[in-house]
Structure 1
Amino acid sequence: MALLNFKKPEGPVAGTLSPEVEAFLQGYSIEVMPRTAQKVEDFRAILPAGTRVYIAHIEGTPIEDMVATAKRIAGEGYAVMPHFPARIIKDQATLENWIAMYQGEAGVDQALLLAGGVDQPHGDFHSSMQLMESGAFDRAGFKRLHVAGHPEGNKDIDPSGGMKNVEEALEWKQNFNERTDADMAIATQFAFEAGPIIAWADALRAAGITLPIHIGIAGPAKLQTMIKFAIACGVGPSLRVLQRRAKDVTKLLLPFEPTDVISELAAHKAANPDFNIEQVHFFPLGGIKTNAHWAIENGGKAAVPAA
């Protein structure tokens, strides 16, 4: 779906699902990779000004490609947040070199710290907590550190699929936030049902974890694509939403869109202003342009592109 000639709408913005959805999508972020970013001629044509753009670092991607992508996107006026996957960073010197490259070439001052999802660490680090404790980001003057959250559990932290170790890790990160100057938030894996997401967020708050949540949402994609990514990323019980959809032959060939889950979360946020989900973070599984177009059509003024 080409959006190269999409123009900023004049007057009232059509297509907004509801005022609650428009408010909920305000300040949304989106994730790219170097190879997917190359397919976008100009991010200003599809993303709102100031959008935070995460750059996913997949095992095997050269750091030079990551930094070049960060430089290009930052140059178009966006806040860049690269991933720092602990298990693919060899040692302290490598970590500090990556930070220096991002800062020197792209002016980066924020990062998403995560374990990385590979089974065997490539070197000294195996968790995001070790990256935080290294002090490298503090010394470099990073203003914002995000950490990963998993509404349906994380087998990298708890192989049993339970939540106990996951919650303990978030408690540690909450304590880190309180004893340092870090401006932190939880960026989560995507899920497909609002009810379990709401229950998870409420449980965190009840446990004293008050870090704001940037909830992961899978952007529009073919159903088969969505199921493939959901299984690969370890999405839990909410996968049943896709499985039910797959049984309906009338919908099998239609793209799966995040309309329902976002509408329900937006309505809950509007009714509960203290709800600790702060923003939406999109995983554009069906393509960055497709995701941006969905946001433009459904998010009203919250998603108007920069140019």
Structure 2
Amino acid sequence: MTTLDTAPAAVSTALLEDFSLEMTGKDVPALEEARATIPPGTRVHVTFLGNEDLPTRLAAARAVKRLGFVPVPHLSARRLASRADFERFLAGLRADGLCENVLAVGGDPASPEGPYEDSLSLIDSGLLRDHGVRHVGISGYPEGHPAIPGDVLWSVLRDKSAALAAQGLEGGVVTQFGFDVDPVLAWIERLRDEGIALPVRIGVPGPAGVRRLLGYAARFGVATSAGIARKYGLSLTNLMGTAGPDRFLHALAEGYDPARHGQVKIHFYTFGGLRATSEWVARFRTARPA
């Protein structure tokens, strides 16, 4: 079982002051259930899954706003079958005042289902700005991507940062989750060295069963060596246990230097556990040194 240690002041104030959460289109009941433990105005990302349709995604974004949070709908480039599909989604968001913030991702399909190969093509289309989008999140991969070479990832990040600036759009980077702080902080330092000053939201798994966490890690190419697992609090021999990100956040607080790393916040991947994650964060933020 995970233990809730005392949270360092740096985590409970700066890093967790404006955390964000992630949900699917079908998680609206779970969001309603967790509402009391989530600070008003929290950014809640709504994923773009292949097994969910446009009405489901729009209804989820509306629910996020209705419950007092900030919706961040995801746009999956390779899942958009046509320019008309892209415009239809953006128009639906705009009609309900839900389009100010989005996250642009390439998406899971190996081949595009339509004209958009990657998230850069969504930005370059001009449709985001035309539909009232003001802030665009883009993805970052501190431990690399299983299907994309590292030099390509850095080149694309530079291109997307430049494209956002050219379009007059604000931006931010949301990273893939991981279990080891060291590569995350090293990656952010390189990001700054590359001249990319966008704010970063570090992806962190919410509390979940070890088996589930390892399953997601394998799917997304996240390192889970025995040493990393021990650092994080995962037990590779006890897959029935649970783990939370307390050790990760403590280590992050100790290594985070605003002068070197710039603006950094936390993004929680809830893996279906919105209430468990929001309650965990509430407890962690209110813990105080003895």
1:21 alignment partner AA: V
Cα pair 2:22 2:47 within 8 Å, conserved: yes
- State the alpha-carbon separation in 2 of the partners of residues 263 and 190 from structure 1: 16
Equivalent residues, number: 281
Question: Please, which of 103, 112, 117 is the counterpart of residue 103 of structure 2?
Answer: 112
Q: Give ranges in structure 2 of 5+ residues lacking alignment.
A: none
Counterparts of 1:143-182 in structure 2 under 5 Å?
143-156=134-147, 158=148, 162-182=149-169
**Closer, same or farther: CA 16–286 of 1 in aligned 2, 3 Å:** farther
Counterparts of 1:1-307 in structure 2 under 5 Å?
17-23=7-13, 24-156=15-147, 158=148, 162-236=149-223, 241-242=228-229, 245-249=234-238, 252-269=239-256, 271-285=257-271, 287-300=273-286
- State the alpha-carbon separation in 1 of the partners of residues 140 and 226 from structure 2: 17
**Closer, same or farther: CA 105–246 of 1 in aligned 2, 3 Å:** same
Q: Offset of 1:47 from its aligned partner? A: 0.6
- State the alpha-carbon separation in 1 of the partners of residues 192 and 31 from structure 2: 38
- State the alpha-carbon separation in 1 of the partners of residues 254 and 10 from structure 2: 6
Q: Offset of 1:277 from its aligned partner? A: 4.8
Q: Offset of 1:46 from its aligned partner? A: 1.9
- State the alpha-carbon separation in 2 of the partners of residues 219 and 121 from structure 1: 31
- State the alpha-carbon separation in 1 of the partners of residues 103 and 120 from structure 2: 12
| Cα RMSD for the two superposed structures | 2.1
Three-state SS of the structure 1 residue aligned to 2:173 is strand
- State the alpha-carbon separation in 1 of the partners of residues 192 and 151 from structure 2: 15
Range moving further from structure 2, 212-221 or 117-126:
117-126
- Percent identical among aligned pairs is 25
- State the alpha-carbon separation in 2 of the partners of residues 121 and 42 from structure 1: 36
Three-state SS of the structure 1 residue aligned to 2:275 is helix
2:162 alignment partner AA: N
- State the alpha-carbon separation in 1 of the partners of residues 258 and 101 from structure 2: 29
1:200-228, CA deviations, whole angstroms, 9 ceiling, x for partnerless residues? 11111112222111110011101001001
- State the alpha-carbon separation in 1 of the partners of residues 54 and 249 from structure 2: 34
- State the alpha-carbon separation in 1 of the partners of residues 33 and 224 from structure 2: 37
Give the alignment's TM-score, normalised by structure 1: 0.85
**Closer, same or farther: CA 108–175 of 1 in aligned 2, 3 Å:** closer
- State the alpha-carbon separation in 1 of the partners of residues 272 and 62 from structure 2: 24
